[in-house]
Structure 1
């Protein structure tokens, strides 16, 4: 019974696992960037630009996921 459930929902499990993996990677990238900025004594303006770029990258990734889910739910996506 459980293996049948697993095979039926394997695509969803893979998708969730991939999103969790990317979230963890974004977290570690952020921690590495924070460390480099602290050790390099980067001024406030430079730090703000770096964090803005990192935020926009994450926002783009999230927007892509939302758009893809919307298209798949409406039946227009592959």
Structure 2
């Protein structure tokens, strides 16, 4: 992966990986350093908000499906 000292901003896929790692509560020190040193907070906030909304919609959809399948 990229060295956090290089000064490159993280790519979309690296930011998505960081958001998913944050959702599970795990992140490598190298990636955390890259995100804090070279990433824009607004990008992570937007991606994290989008992920959260999609996660909630997926849960609501699964509950609706379970309710539909168990209804007489």
TM score, norm. by length of structure 1: 0.44
Q: For CA contacts below 8 A with separation 6 or more, give which structure has more relative contact order.
A: 2
TM score, norm. by length of structure 2: 0.47
Quick check: which one's helix share is greater?
1
Considering only CA atoms, is the larger Rg found in Structure 1 or Structure 2? Answer: 1
